[in-house]
Amino acid sequence: MNLRAFCLIALLSTAAVARAQEPLPDEEGMTAEEAAQMQAVQDATQAYYTRAAIELAVGDKARDLALAATLLQFATQAPPPDGARASDAPSQPSPQDPRIDEWRRLASTRGGKDVLVDALLMQADTPGNTQRRDQAAERWRRLEPDNLAPLLFTASPATDLVAAARTTSRFDLHMYEQVRWMQSALQAHPPGAAERAILSGGEDVPPNEAAAMTAMGIWAAVGIPSMQAVTAACRGDARSSSPTRREDCRHVAQVMADQSDTSIGTSIGIALLQQIAATPEQRLDADERRRRQDWWMLQWGRVASQQPHDGSEQFARLLLDPTIGREQDLIERVLTDAGVALDPPAGWQPPPRAAVAD
């Protein structure tokens, strides 16, 4: 692994560490030099996030305050004690900086009908922010009643959630809208020269590219709702728990498979279609969808790996294109520009995946 890739993984993993305090890939096999580099990246990230959060909050704008709260949450999350990552002992919550909840409160109060503020407030990922997050999700749901996304962020029981989804027709997380806005905010508050050198692994990474990848990493860590309630409601005996459950589950699956703005939404929708398929035709349709989705994702990864900076330069450039509204639009552009067919060759099958119990 080259140094830049190592540092980028560490930077983008700050959010994951803040959420779950899980070990990074191959962490136990690191050399002393790699461990020191990892620590330097984490220290630089925390320092940068803290300063950027304070600078953003000074403006008192709703979006700025919501992002500032997220950055400070990451920056002030206490690391696990030595040996805790390798043990099964649950992590202990650390005291939260009171500014985090105050900034989220102000963002919620000042957000008005700005859906992006509510979407950014979904990044509240600590127990103390549950009520604020639920309020923002409900406000988002009222603003976009046809959107499944805010419904999945609520704390509704699975039965109520799946039934309430009947009136939805899209699964729009506003991912690229959030990432584009966060990129612009981070570019306005860039890391210092010393921090930038550490975070980029010594490479000369353009500010817009670094900000785009940081924004994407933040969103990927905290911008996706849990699908556990839906998958549980649509699995096995639960599908027969009410006369309408199977059709309600099929509607959720169809919405996500057909009208998601993210590839993960599409993938989850396809998985649900495979799970609830009741006829040979339905199973064939779901399997063909899965085959095409896997082809796209595998080819995207292959093409990106051949691009400068492992595709981050290309991603930042395409992010500026206003015609790219969904992640699927970006993937299609990447594949088309590379001369890759959008449909897999006849007979092509993806590598085996782990079986999921029904």
Q: Tally Cβ neighbours within 10 Å of residue 116.
A: 18
pLDDT of 240: 80
Distance CA 126, CA 225 (A): 14
Which of 31-40, 107-116, 304-313 has the highest average model confidence (pLDDT)? 107-116
pLDDT of 81: 46
On the CB side of 23, CA atoms within 13 Å amount to 14
- Mean predicted confidence (pLDDT) in 71-86: 66
pLDDT of 355 over the 60 cut: no
Distance CA 175, CA 139 (A): 18
pLDDT of 349: 92
pLDDT of 353: 66
pLDDT of 28: 61
Q: Which residue do the tokens 């981050």 mark?
A: 312
- Mean predicted confidence (pLDDT) in 190-212: 87
Length of the chain: 358
SS3 at position 85 = coil
- Mean predicted confidence (pLDDT) in 241-255: 92
Mean of pLDDT over the chain: 85
Backbone angles phi, psi at 248, to 5 degrees: -65, -40
pLDDT of 229: 86
- Mean predicted confidence (pLDDT) in 254-264: 97
Beta bridge partners of 170: 147
Beta bridge partners of 171: 260
Distance CA 35, CA 93 (A): 24
236/55: higher pLDDT: 55
pLDDT of 127: 57
**pLDDT band for position 243 (cuts 50, 70, 90):** confident
Burial class of residue 333 in the structure, from the number of CB atoms within 10 Å of its CB (0-12 exposed, 13-18 middle, 19+ buried): middle
Lowest mean pLDDT among 147-156, 157-166, 212-221, 346-355: 346-355
**pLDDT band for position 236 (cuts 50, 70, 90):** confident
**Runs of H (alpha helix) within 144-277:** 148-153, 158-164, 175-188, 193-199, 207-222, 228-233, 245-258, 263-276
SS3 at position 147 = strand
- Mean predicted confidence (pLDDT) in 121-149: 86
List Cβ neighbours of 178 (8 Å cut-off, separation of 6 or more).
116, 119, 120, 215, 219, 223
- Mean predicted confidence (pLDDT) in 232-244: 86
pLDDT of 179: 97
pLDDT per position as a tens digit, 260-313: 999 999 999 999 999 999 999 999 999 999 999 999 999 999 999 998 888 889
pLDDT of 241 over the 90 cut: no
Contact of 197 with 204, CB cutoff 8 Å: no
111/80: higher pLDDT: 111
Q: Which helix (H) or strand (E) holds 351?
A: none
Side chain identity, residue 265? G
pLDDT per position as a tens digit, 322-335: 999 999 999 999 99
pTM of the model: 0.86
List Cβ neighbours of 259 (8 Å cut-off, separation of 6 or more).
169, 170, 171, 172
pLDDT of 18: 38
**pLDDT band for position 125 (cuts 50, 70, 90):** low
Distance CA 348, CA 34 (A): 39
pLDDT of 176: 97
Residues of the chain above pLDDT 90, percent: 60
**pLDDT band for position 352 (cuts 50, 70, 90):** confident
235/330: higher pLDDT: 330
The encoded tokens of residue 161 equal 């959630």
The encoded tokens of residue 147 equal 């959107």
pLDDT per position as a tens digit, 176-200: 999 999 999 999 999 998 888 888 8
SS3 at position 93 = coil
